[in-house]
Amino acid sequence: MLPGNICRLDAGLKGGSMRNQVFRGVALAVLMSATALAWAQSGPGGFPNRAVRVIVPAAVGSLTDPVARIVAEDMGRRTGQNWVVENRPGAGGIIGTDATAKAAPDGYTLMLTANNFIITPSLYRNVTYKVPADFALIGMVGRGDNLLVASAASGIRDIADLVARAKASGSPINYTSPLIGSAAHLTVELFKRNAGIALNHVAYNNSGQGVTDTVAGLIPINVMGISTALPYIQSGKLVPLAWTGTQRAPELPNTPTFVQAGFKDVHMGLWFALVGPAGLSADVVNWLNGQLNASLKSAAVTDRMKSLRIDPLPGSVADLTSLIASELPQYQKLAAETGLRLD
């Protein structure tokens, strides 16, 4: 229903001349814009008063990309300014993350990232930024899990069959993941270490191409979000092997978790967060956190994220700070114990 002032204007112009009809259209547009602007929230010092750039340190086709676009669209509506997603993939997310660290701390360059944000510094020697010191932590966005799958063309039936084939093979079996140094990548590295098998990671610049090649049978194994895998599982082109969650995925009741399959240390989940460069004012950080939480609690955002099998995770700046403080040493220990290096 239109607001009362618009309804009165609409009634007064009905039946008028063409000139009145044109005026009516312009007036309605102006009033609707005013209504939208009145709804939008401005922050400290009128922030934001121009477009906000949201860096995604991954390519289009990664799961981070649609999550970022869902959040950016709603935050733009809430703040009355465009939130523009900019994909800056490369080097396991280092390129986009480095650009964020070097940006002006004015709130107009932010980054929506997966947890490879805190993984890659342990895997690359040439990372020039420090996590979390070089970033302003704004808030959690969501949490999900990954699914290990096999190409149906590979003939691999389940995770036990994969282990048996890998042990019998004279050479490592190839696999791919959405991003070098991602939680998905480390999941398979942990799995092969636990299983005592040889698997070789094949890196793609575009994770979508990795999915295409797995479906086509060119890559035997992949690890990805369940929302990406399900259509191919349902069409018989991919075979689900194991799930990183603590419980079985409702959509795949016959697919075990890694723990249920006997790999007790393989339970690395996936999460997303919004951050900015260090030096961003506390007032802006706290205001952005409040707007982000309101967005994540809205039905529109919740429904769209759940369609990706991502659970929205509103929380405080302290919650994200605590999570990183807890998980960062685990990744550092894992890198040291496995000797895994990506440069």
Quick one: pLDDT band at residue 321, thresholds 50, 70, 90? very high
Q: Is the pLDDT of residue 25 over 60?
A: no
Contacts of 169 (CB under 8 A, 6+ apart): 198
Which region among 93-97, 123-127, 192-196, 241-245 has the lowest average model confidence (pLDDT)? 123-127
Architecture of the domain delimited by 146-243 = 3-Layer(aba) Sandwich (3.40)
Fold identical between 47-144+272-338 and 146-243? yes
| 216 and 69 Cβ atoms separated by less than 8 Å | no
3-state SS of 265-319 is CCCCCEEEEEEEECCCCHHHHHHHHHHHHHHHHCHHHHHHHHHCCCEECCCCHHH
pLDDT, tens digit, 9 for 90 and up, residues 28-74: 444 344 444 445 677 899 999 999 999 999 988 889 999 999 999 99
Cα–Cα separations (whole angstroms), residue 115 to 118, 141, 269, 273, 327: 6, 11, 9, 8, 10
Residue 97 near residue 89 (C-beta atoms within 8 A)? no
Q: Which residue has the higher pLDDT, 225 or 20?
A: 225
- The dihedral over CA atoms of 225, 236, 217, 244, expressed in degrees to the nearest 10, equals 30
- Name 135's bridge partners: 277
Residue-level pLDDT at 7: 44
279-291 per-position pLDDT tens digit = 999 999 999 999 9
pLDDT at position 17? 53
Domains in the chain: boundaries: 4-35, 47-144+272-338, 146-243
Each residue's pLDDT tens digit, 150-200: 999 999 999 999 999 999 998 999 999 988 888 889 899 889 999 999 999
**Length of the chain, please?**
343
Question: Is residue 145 scored above 50 in pLDDT?
Answer: yes
Q: What is the pLDDT of residue 20?
A: 52
Q: What is 47-144+272-338's CATH topology?
A: D-Maltodextrin-Binding Protein; domain 2 (3.40.190)
Q: In the structure, what pLDDT confidence band is assigned to residue 22 with cuts at 50, 70 and 90?
A: very low
Q: Identify which has the larger pLDDT, 269 or 263.
A: 263
Q: What is the torsional sign of CA 339, 267, 307, 227?
A: positive
Model confidence at 229, pLDDT cuts 50, 70, 90, reads very high
Task: Retrieve residue 226's tokens.
Answer: 């369940």
> What's the average model confidence in pLDDT over 7-33?
46
| 3-15 mean pLDDT | 44
Q: What pLDDT digit, counting tens, does each position of 207-216 carry?
A: 889 999 999 9
The confidence score (pLDDT) of residue 24 equals 52
Question: How confident is the model over 1-10, as a mean pLDDT?
Answer: 42
- Burial of 50 (C-beta count, 10 Å sphere; 0-12/13-18/19+): exposed
Quick one: pLDDT band at residue 322, thresholds 50, 70, 90? very high
Question: Is the confidence at residue 343, as pLDDT, over 80?
Answer: no
By the 8 A CB rule, do 58 and 179 touch? Answer: yes
Contacts of 190 (CB under 8 A, 6+ apart): 263, 265, 266, 268, 334
Report pLDDT for 339: 77
pLDDT in tens, 78-116: 999 999 999 999 888 999 999 999 999 999 999 999 999
pLDDT at 58: 93
Q: What percent of the chain has pLDDT over 90?
A: 71
**Residue 13 pLDDT > 70, yes or no?**
no
Average pLDDT, the chain: 88
CA distance 156 to 89: 32
